[in-house]
Amino acid sequence: MSIAGWGRCSVITAHQAGPVSVAAMAEPCAKRENMFCYCLFCESGKSRFAAGALVKIRSCRTIIPRQTLHTWRRGEMVNMERDLFPGYLFLYSDVRWSRDELRSVDGVIQCLRTTDQVNELQGEDEQFALSLLNTDGVIGKTRVYQEGQLIRLCSGAFTGLKARILKVDRRSHCIKIEIPFASRLIQTWVEYEMTELAEEKDAAPAESDPQAGNPVP
């Protein structure tokens, strides 16, 4: 299975931490000569332990992909990081590692491979690994939406207006909002990309209009 921007490591996509656009990824950095990239699947909670064990065996670089979340906490806008692929670890080395060497490291379960012939990542998988190396493992900023949050519309006819989130549909990447308009609160669905988080302020009371469509799956 190949997913653009995520590579062909098929097990990874089952553990995605949240939606991430390909545009949020940096361009792959130039590969150094004789540098090999690996993707390791680790026991739950042991990816950082395994990373420490690998660098003690020989000189190498390890990265655990992380996602930056832009959200509100205790009334302030903060950036938080969480693992993008829980349990996965990327290894970069100037020398080849055998599959037995990698699997002998405490906490490592499996070495994911692009093909059955070699352990190193190749093609799109290697390019994805190099993109991670270029950003120190951090992929973009992803907004975290919750019911009750205040957002600002940044595209479309209502650009600049603030609205309150009523419901979040993460599968379709849409949120149901209330927009203050003509002394009323009009409910509608919009896509994540049309909005941004706004500072909390008291909204003027208005009569709510429950008539609104549903998001397209």
Count of domains forming the chain: 2
The alpha carbon torsion through 148, 154, 157, 163 (nearest 10 deg) reads: 10
Q: Of 97, 116, 143, which one is at a domain's C-terminal end?
A: 143
**Of 3-17, 36-50, 122-136, 186-200, which one has max mean pLDDT?**
36-50
By DSSP bridging, strand 207-209 and strand 184-191 are parallel
Q: Count CB-CB contacts under 10 A for residue 13.
A: 13
Q: Of 143, 177, 195, which one is at a domain's C-terminal end?
A: 143
Spatial separation of the C-alpha atoms in residues 125 and 91, rounded to whole Å: 13
Q: Are residues 32 and 109 in the same domain?
A: yes
CATH number of the CATH domain containing 170:
2.30.30.30
Spatial separation of the C-alpha atoms in residues 150 and 155, rounded to whole Å: 16
Average pLDDT over residues 33-49: 91
3 state DSSP class of 88: strand
Residue 176 and residue 212 in contact, taking contact as beta carbons nearer than 8 Å:
yes
Looking at the domain assignment, is residue 180 inside a domain? yes
3 state DSSP class of 34: coil
- pLDDT, tens only, 115-164: 877 899 988 889 888 988 888 888 765 567 788 888 888 876 677 888 88
Q: Of 123, 143, 163, which one is at a domain's C-terminal end?
A: 143
* Amino acid letter, residue 13: T
Query: What is this structure's pTM?
Result: 0.55
Q: Are residues 135 and 71 in the same domain?
A: yes
Spatial separation of the C-alpha atoms in residues 214 and 131, rounded to whole Å: 37
Question: Residue 18 corresponds to which tokens in the numbers above?
Answer: 């949240």
Q: Are residues 119 and 173 in the same domain?
A: no
pLDDT band at 64 (very low <50, low <70, confident <90, very high): very high
Q: Are residues 131 and 158 in the same domain?
A: no
Instruction: Tell me the backbone φ, ψ of residue 205, rounded to 5 degrees.
Output: -65, 140
The predicted structure's pLDDT at residue 1: 27
Looking at the domain assignment, is residue 42 inside a domain? yes
CA 171 to chain centre: 14
Spatial separation of the C-alpha atoms in residues 36 and 29, rounded to whole Å: 14
Mean pLDDT for the chain overall: 74
Q: Are residues 43 and 95 in the same domain?
A: yes
Question: Residue 26 corresponds to which tokens in the numbers above?
Answer: 């940096």
Q: Are residues 118 and 157 in the same domain?
A: no
pLDDT band at 93 (very low <50, low <70, confident <90, very high): very high
Average pLDDT over residues 96-101: 92
* Amino acid letter, residue 190: V
Q: Are residues 129 and 189 in the same domain?
A: no
Question: Residue 30 corresponds to which tokens in the numbers above?
Answer: 């130039």
62 vs 169: which has the higher pLDDT: 62
For residue 129, give its domain range.
12-143
CATH number of the CATH domain containing 36:
3.30.70.940
